């Protein structure tokens, strides 16, 4: 049975059900999430594109093999991000070292959102911040780096972050607040503040 264009706008949960009936429909979920997840993996890990693509391939295999386990009480996007989260941790444990020097270009709106929410908008040059954001993020402990990436770069809400990192909402809020303080501290150390 060939896949149809009507599924481009189907809800994730509907695509999951259709994928369970016909594996060809899984391609719609892959197409919907592959770019977002690839960027998320690279933001979290600071690895090469090829290594990130390998992780992403493993993620999609796990997603497909576990589609029956997906429960509608969770957003599909949170569920798949959780699988990425777990796979990144697994890969990190295998490698025990990350190459440095990778940088993703951020658009101005994401940089401005981060700077505004961390309350540094008036004291920092956004162009300089944008070029150094991953240097600053990589200097943070993993638990802070991840919540900032999820909140400001992946634009996830607190509930989604809670589902992804498997922590209560209150803990997520505390982690984000502490992460913003740490970010400001590291920003000051890099002398980006004018």
Name the DSSP letter for residue 74: S
Cα(147)–Cα(187) distance, integer angstroms: 17
Question: Domain residues of the chain, as ranges?
Answer: 5-95, 108-189
Q: What is the topology classification, in CATH, of domain 5-95?
A: Rna Polymerase Sigma Factor; Chain: A (1.10.1740)
Class level of CATH domain 108-189: mainly alpha
In angstroms, the Cα distances linking 2 to 7, 23, 45 are 11, 10, 37
Burial zone of 93 (CB within 10 Å; 0-12 exposed, 13-18 middle, 19+ buried): exposed
pLDDT number for residue 111: 61
Q: Which of 143, 136, 141, 151 is nearest to 187 (CA)?
A: 136
Confidence (pTM) = 0.70
32-58 confidence digits (pLDDT tens)? 999 999 999 998 887 889 999 999 999
Of the given ranges (42-51, 61-70, 172-181), which has the lowest mean pLDDT? 42-51
Cα(133)–Cα(187) distance, integer angstroms: 9
């Amino acid at each position: 049975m060939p896949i149809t264009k009507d599924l481009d706008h189907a809800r994730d949960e509907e695509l999951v059900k259709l994928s369970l009936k016909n594996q060809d429909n899984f391609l719609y979920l892959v197409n919907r999430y592959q770019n977002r997840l690839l960027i998320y993996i690279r933001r979290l890990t600071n690895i090469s594109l090829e290594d990130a693509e390998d992780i992403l391939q493993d993620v999609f295999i796990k997603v497909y093999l576990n589609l029956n386990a997906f429960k509608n009480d969770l957003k599909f996007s949170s569920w798949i991000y959780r699988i990425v989260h777990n796979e990144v941790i697994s890969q990190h444990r295998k490698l025990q070292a990350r190459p440095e020097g990778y940088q993703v270009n951020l658009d101005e709106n994401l940089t401005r959102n981060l700077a505004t929410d961390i309350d540094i908008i008036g004291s920092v040059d956004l162009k300089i911040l944008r070029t150094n954001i991953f240097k600053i993020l990589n200097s943070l402990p993993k638990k802070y780096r991840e919540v900032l990436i999820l909140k400001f770069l992946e634009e996830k809400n607190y509930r989604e972050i809670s589902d992804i990192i498997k922590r209560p909402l209150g803990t997520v809020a505390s982690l984000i607040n502490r992460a913003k303080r740490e970010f400001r501290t590291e920003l000051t150390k890099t002398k980006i503040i004018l």
